[in-house]
Each structure stands twice: as C-alpha cells, then as structure tokens.
Amino acid sequence: MTGNYGHSIKNDYRQYMNAILYVTKTGCQWSMLPNDFPKYTAVKSFFRRLRVKGIWEIINADIVELARVSLGRQATPTYGLIDSQSVKTTGAADEKGIDGGKKQKAANVT
C-alpha cells in the first residue's frame, strides 16, 4: 500500500514512531524535531490520534505481557502487592507548616 507520494505507508508509520520515540527519549519539544523526521505537526497529530484511540495503552499492555511470558511467567499477574511506602495518603487534618514568605507558622493548613 502506498501513500500520496508513492512511498510505503508502513515506512511513514515507522518514521512517525521513530520521531515519537525520539521526543520521548530526548525530551525535546515537538517543534524541535530534527529535519530527518516528518514534519512535527504530522508527528504530533499521529501521536494524539493514537492517544485518543487508546492505542498506547494497548501497546503497553501487549509489551508487558510479552515481557512476562519471556521471563517464564503467566501473561497476566495472579495477584498484586501494594506497599504502604508507595501509596500516597491524604494529609492529616491538623497539618501545620511554615509559610516561607511570612517566616511564621501557618495555622491549620488544608
């Protein structure tokens, strides 16, 4: 299958994915993509369409399953553990702190 310019759409998708991975790895802005990639507006649009359709979540779930199977585990976990150190809790009701601007204790910060 070819696109409007006579080149393979599969290669376009690969270039879009490479550009998205470049942005993810380097943290650069979309508009700062090197000229080796397609126009940043097209790449950004492609990324957003996949996000809206939920494709990134599907890809992530598939990669996790493949990794688990390659390690000799079941594709999906049978149980999970939640460590109290990794769970955010709500703050205490009578929380007090220092207001750095006023250099005094703030009463009942909520």
Q: Is the pLDDT of residue 95 over 70?
A: no
Q: Rounded to whole angstroms, how far apart are CA atoms 19 and 89?
A: 38
What is the pLDDT at residue 12? 86
Tens of pLDDT, residues 6-62: 555 666 899 999 999 999 999 999 999 999 999 999 999 999 999 999 999 999 999
Parent domain of 23: 9-70
Residue 45 belongs to some domain of the structure: yes
| Residue 110, CA distances (Å) to 36, 54, 90, 99 in order | 50, 36, 11, 13
What is the pLDDT at residue 109? 53
Residue 32 belongs to some domain of the structure: yes
Residue 50 belongs to some domain of the structure: yes
Question: Taking a C-beta distance cutoff of 8 angstroms, is the pair 30, 43 a contact?
Answer: yes
Residue 33 belongs to some domain of the structure: yes
* Helix, strand, or coil (residue 11): helix
What is the pLDDT at residue 1? 47
Residue with more model confidence, 87 or 78: 78
Residue 75 belongs to some domain of the structure: no
- What's the number of domains the chain is made of? 1
